[in-house]
Amino acid sequence: MPLSSRFTVRAAVPGAALAALLPFAAGCGSEEHARPDAAAAPVPPASRAPHVPSVPPLPVPETARTDCSPDGVRLEAREPDAATGLRGMRVTLANCGDAPRRLDGYPALRVLDEAREPFEVRVVEGTASVPDPGPKPITVRPGGSASAVVVWRNTVTHGTNVNGTFLEVALDDGHRPPPLRVPGGLDLGTTGRLEVTAWSLA
């Protein structure tokens, strides 16, 4: 074979190989262009913990108490519990003195206004709204306490609307401790009526 012919064949081989590789190169190029489209596909959002609404804490009933009187008595009451117009409040008598104190039956109560003037209120001994232990003599020793439950309804029809501020509790021996300022007040409406249970040891 002439020398010029060998050079022509060898020069043609790389050109043929390049032509054979072009389709693969084109295919590779088209595959690379398709990747951005695949990456643009929507991605499902990450799962999130369900939102739990916060529950506000329940309000704590306010408590009121008097100082220990010279006769060794202290009164205490919590904010009245209201339900469908019915109010209930536990009044506690603590013996903060040095001698035993005797109680017998029901406490004597008076509802007072802001100026500590009494309202015309009928106090009923005994109630069917809450359990009543009934009257019986009890002895409250030093450091001990007794309690009674006061019940009323906030009904407004006609007459004088009673909204008391203080509750006065008289003891069997005639002693009257300082009046107790009732948290939330004594909203008797126009009923003019207050019911109370007998004393019982706390």
* Phi, psi angles (nearest 5°) of residue 38: -70, -35
Pairing of strands 122-125, 193-196: parallel
Tally Cβ neighbours within 10 Å of residue 110.
Answer: 19
CATH code for position 87: 2.60.40
Enter the pTM of the model: 0.68
Residue at 117 is within a domain: yes
20 and 88 both lie in a single domain? no
| CA-based nearest residue to 184, from 201, 162, 168, 164 | 164
Distance CA 54, CA 173 (A): 53
Give yes or no: residues 67 and 116 share one domain: yes
Residue 190 domain flag:
yes
Residue 97 located in a structural domain: yes
What's the number of domains the chain is made of?
A: 2
- Answer yes or no: do 141 and 194 share one domain: yes
108 neighbors 122 (Cβ within 8 angstroms): no
Is residue 72 domain-shared with residue 159, that is, in the same domain?
yes
Say whether 11 sits in a helix, a strand or coil.
helix
52 within some domain: no
Assign 33 to helix, strand or coil: helix
φ/ψ of 87, rounded to 5, equals -110, 140
**Residues 163 and 195 grouped into a single domain:** yes
38: which 2 tokens? Answer: 């695949």
Are residues 147 and 82 part of one domain? yes
73 and 129, same domain (yes or no): yes
Return the residue matching tokens 């008598």: 93
The CA distance from 90 to 81, in Å, is 9
Domain of 10?
1-40
In a structure prediction context, what are the per-residue pLDDT tens digits for the chain, which is 202 residues long?
444 444 444 444 444 444 444 444 444 444 444 455 545 556 555 556 566 566 555 555 578 899 999 989 999 998 887 766 789 999 999 999 999 999 999 999 999 999 999 999 999 999 999 999 999 999 999 999 999 999 999 888 888 889 999 999 998 878 889 999 998 899 999 999 999 999 999 8
Per-residue exposure over 59-76, b if at least 16 CB sit within 10 Å of its own CB, e if not? eeeeebebebeeebbbbb
What tokens were used for 125? 């001994």
User: Are 98 and 173 in a shared domain?
Assistant: yes
